[in-house]
Each structure stands twice: as C-alpha cells, then as structure tokens.
Structure 1
Amino acid sequence: MRLSRIIMALTVGLAVVAVPTAAGAAQPQPAPSATTDPPQPPPYPPTAASLTVNRPTIYLGETVILTGTGFGPNETVDITVTVAPFAAPAGGQAPARRSDGTTVAMAPVAFQASAPLHFTAFTNAQGSFTKSYKPSVTGHLTFTATGRESGRTATAELRVLHKKQPLPVTGDSIGTPIKLGGGLVGAGAIMLLLTLAWRRRQRFGGTAH
C-alpha cells in the first residue's frame, strides 16, 4: 500500500513538472524575417579620380586636351578653371629687344574669344572623359573636376605663355636698310659716271684717228 502511494506521488510530481515545459513549448516562436535585405555596397567603390593635360605648357592661342579617369560611369563632371597671372615686369608689359640690345614696349594683343572658366564633361561607362580647352589668358591655370554623383574630385595645372611675337620695326632696324640702300644708290651713280666717261673717251679717241 505504501509502495503504491509512493509511485502515485512520483507520478503526480513528474506531471506537475512537465506541464510548464509543455506550455512553453506550445507557445508560438517568432519566425525569422524574410524581408531583411543584405547590406548594399556603395554605388561607387572608393577609387581615386585623376585629371591630366596632354601638355604642361602652351602658348596663348593653342589648345590643350584634358583627360579625366576614375569618375562615376556615365556621370556629369563639372570643371572649374582658376587663373593665377604671371608677375608683371616693370612697365606692365614684357618689352621687345632691339638689335642693339635696347628694349621697346610691346602693345598687348587682343583676343576676340574668351574661354569659359566653368564647363562640363560627360564620362563614359568606364568613368573616363576627354575635353579640349583653348585658354584666352596667360598665367598658371588650375583645372578642378568634380563628379556630380560620385563626388570625386581631381585637379591639373597648366602654364599658358604669351604668344610668340615678331620683333617690332624700330628706328634702329629701319636705319640699317636705309644705309644699305643709300650705299647701293651711290655705287650705282659712280658706275654710271664711269660708263659715261668711258664712252666719251671712246668717242673722242675714234675722231682723232
């Protein structure tokens, strides 16, 4: 009799312990979210952009080619030009040198077209572009290119020198041709006089015979 009571008590105890465990197992578990998106990479991987010119130094009136790489594909690139003028010589204009070593001031040359200081370029699928530019001023030019979507930026520098000018015609340079021409005229006059004298002598000599 006691053994049966002990067995019954153990059975009831096990049943009491098992009820909370079964109740916890019966509760619904949160399902994993199927709408969680994986992290997206940035639209443009970090790549250094570059901007170069085909010639570091040109003369005023010549054209330079800008080449940009490393920008976003099919992107609009804004290009800004800043100009730092050369240090002006005394008198404001570079003088021309005469043949005797002295100098004479040169008049400035006026250019009709004015090159823009802000323009745009468009990249291809590889993020590259080429653009021609014809400066209208002399000095140190700095080109700064910035991609509108990628935000990448790059710079390039260019030196634009004064266009080569022929030496001006001055009083000293005119004097030399005048002197040379006068000498030739004098020599011609002497030759003419000698020819006339020779003909006259021949004439009188022929009469004497």
Structure 2
Amino acid sequence: MAGARKSQKEATRQRVLDAARDLFETRGYEETTVREIARHAEVSVGSVFTTFSSKGDILSQVMADRLDALYAELDRVAPHLRGSTPDRLRSLFAIHYAFETRRTRLFLAHIAAAYNWTLSPASRPYGRDPRLRQMVRDCLAEGVVRGDVDPACDLDVVIDALMASYAWTYRLAAWDEADAQAMSAVMDRHIGLISEGFRARPTA
C-alpha cells in the first residue's frame, strides 16, 4: 500500500512538472498560475502544494531536471575540449546556448528567478546551481596548470564576469529572438575581453 501511494505521488509530481514546463514556455512564468498548472496536470491545487512549496520551487525543479541532461552531456564532452582556455570556455558556453535555446522562454524565466527575493533558499535559479560555476572554475584551473591563465588572478571574479556576460547575452533572445549561434558570437567577444584580464603574461 505504501509503495502504491509513493508511486502515485511520484506520478502526480511528474505530471505537475510536465504541465508547468509547457506553460512556462508557452504562456510565460509570470503569467502562469499554480491553478493553471494544476488544471493542465489534471490534479488538485492541494496536490501541487503537497509536493512543491511555491511556483518558484516548481520552476527550479523543472530546470534541475533539464540541466541534469545538459551536464551529463558536458561531463562527457568537457575532457575532450581543445585549444586555449578562452577557446575551451567558448565551447562550454556555446553548448549551453545550443541546449537552452531549445526552450528559450523557459531559460529566460530561470534567469529572471535569480532576482526573485521571495524564493525559498532551497530553490535553484540561475547562478545558485553550482555546476556551471564549477565547470568554468575547472577550465580556468586547468588553464593555470597549462600556463595561459595567470595564477595570481581571482578566479571568483573571473567566474562572476563570465556568468554575468552569459546571462546578459540572453537579452538578445528576449528582444531580438536571437538564436544560439548569434548569442555565442557575442559571448565569444565577451570572453576575449575578459580573458585579457586573466591571461598569463611573461615575467621579466
């Protein structure tokens, strides 16, 4: 009996997530209500709140499920990236753009949630998920070992600058419906500028 209840709860949870993902993408995060999510999932509003504390919590879980697939791909690809540290960073962010532009509006909601002060500490909007930061840090740390990143540079500052550029470039998708290639081209230039601050310089 307990196993059946657990299975039913998991099925309800997945229906809520599927409905929310589609509504956030088609209607927008702000315009979508929990009542609409419940209706599309064919469950009660109470069932939604039994599993999730808020709409923001639902968005966080929707994105976590999507990002699991992305980071599984990156874990596979990252060890095989070639070129200088800036080139490898360009490849990492290009993979992100290619993946997230499959559901651009959903990812824009994910970024916007980073500035929602009402989210619970358990929510994971853009910037709070440590995986992208760690991948960028690993790339920079490898650059230090390879000799093209200044070992004295503050990696946290560099990571913040790269994360900010990545998110800000999404304005092109919101305003101009830019695709992954267009945004990657802009991000490539940002990385070129930022890398001037962290590149290793010959000692006298």
Tell me which interval the TM-score lies in, with the shorter structure as reference length.
Answer: under 0.3
Which of the two has higher C-alpha Rg? 1
TM-score (normalizing by structure 1): 0.22
Report the TM-score, using the length of structure 2 for normalisation: 0.23
- Select the structure that is richer in helix: 2
Give 1 or 2: higher strand fraction: 1
Higher RCO (Cα < 8 Å, 6 or more apart)? 1
